[in-house]
């Protein structure tokens, strides 16, 4: 049972279409517009708590740019070279040297008309990074990514199950939201583990099977 949790490798990729926007419709619209149009502001700083969907959006934008045959890179920790589109996740985790690299990349991307997305856990003025980098990150469009309500998380989970080819019973969704971890990536991971477990037993997803998966997760800690 515990091995099921270790073996889960989601076979889906974050996209703008499978992102549940909730209260973030303006941001989603702005990202789509920036991908399609070279005019206007194309520098974004997105911030919010862990698990609210920052990485999903950044990876989705890179995937969309690559599908349109743009040179696009998603990065963490180390800063890439100038591309058409760059997404830099977890800015607060950058080393001092990498912060200098990102400061220079920001200037180069703005001059070249490229699209740069940077994410962090706090608003620019509260970030523990170089002052000049904080200033640059505040120059473009700054959005706080709002977390989803339980109703919106339920929609996301049911949509994820549908994409994977099965119907998620409402009682399973409700139990997971009441007893699972609060962030959507963890909920999705638990759902993938439930799917694999139910397939291995040739049984439909159910609350008893979900309880088994959640107990196995506790045993791994």
What pTM does this model have?
Answer: 0.80
> Are residues 131 and 29 located together in one domain of the fold?
yes
Q: Is residue 120 part of a domain?
A: yes
pLDDT at 221: 63
**Number of domains forming the structure of the chain:** 2
Provide the 10 A C-beta neighbour count for residue 82: 15
Q: Give me the residue label for tokens 């180390």.
A: 78
> Are residues 183 and 207 located together in one domain of the fold?
yes
SS3 of residue 78 by DSSP: coil
pLDDT at 5: 45
> Are residues 49 and 133 located together in one domain of the fold?
yes
Closest CA to 88 of 108, 71, 105: 105
Q: Give me the residue label for tokens 């049972």.
A: 1
> Are residues 63 and 136 located together in one domain of the fold?
yes
pLDDT at 175: 95
Q: Is residue 128 part of a domain?
A: yes
- Name the stretches of the chain with pLDDT < 50: 1-2, 4-10
DSSP state of 140: S
Domain boundary among 115, 144, 173: 144
Burial of 87 (0-12, 13-18, 19+ CB in 10 A): buried
pLDDT tens across 167-193, in order?
A: 999 999 999 999 988 788 788 889 989
pLDDT at 204: 93
Q: Which residues span the domain enclosing 104?
A: 25-144
pLDDT at 12: 62
Radius of gyration of the chain (CA): 19
Q: Give dist(CA 135, CA 142) in Å, integer.
A: 12
pLDDT at 11: 56
């Amino acid at each position: 049972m515990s091995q099921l949790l270790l073996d889960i490798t989601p076979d889906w990729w974050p996209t703008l279409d499978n992102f549940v926007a909730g209260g973030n419709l303006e941001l989603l619209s702005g990202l789509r517009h920036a991908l399609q149009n070279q005019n206007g502001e194309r520098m974004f700083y997105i911030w919010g708590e862990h698990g609210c969907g920052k990485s999903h959006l950044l990876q989705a934008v890179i995937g969309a740019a690559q599908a349109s045959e743009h040179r696009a890179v998603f990065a963490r920790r180390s800063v890439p070279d100038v591309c058409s589109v760059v997404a830099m996740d977890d800015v607060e985790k950058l080393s001092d040297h990498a912060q200098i690299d990102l400061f220079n990349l920001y200037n180069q991307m703005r001059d070249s008309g490229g699209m740069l997305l940077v994410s962090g856990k706090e608003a620019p003025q509260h970030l523990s990074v170089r002052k000049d980098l904080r200033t640059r990150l505040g120059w473009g469009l700054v959005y706080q990514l709002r977390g989803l309500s339980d109703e919106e998380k339920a929609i996301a989970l049911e949509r994820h199950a549908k994409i994977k080819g099965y119907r998620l019973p409402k009682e399973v969704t409700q139990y997971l939201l009441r007893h699972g971890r609060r962030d959507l990536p963890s909920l999705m991971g638990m759902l993938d583990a439930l799917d694999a477990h139910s397939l291995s037993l040739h049984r439909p997803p159910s609350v008893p099977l979900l309880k088994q998966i959640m107990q196995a997760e506790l045993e791994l800690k």
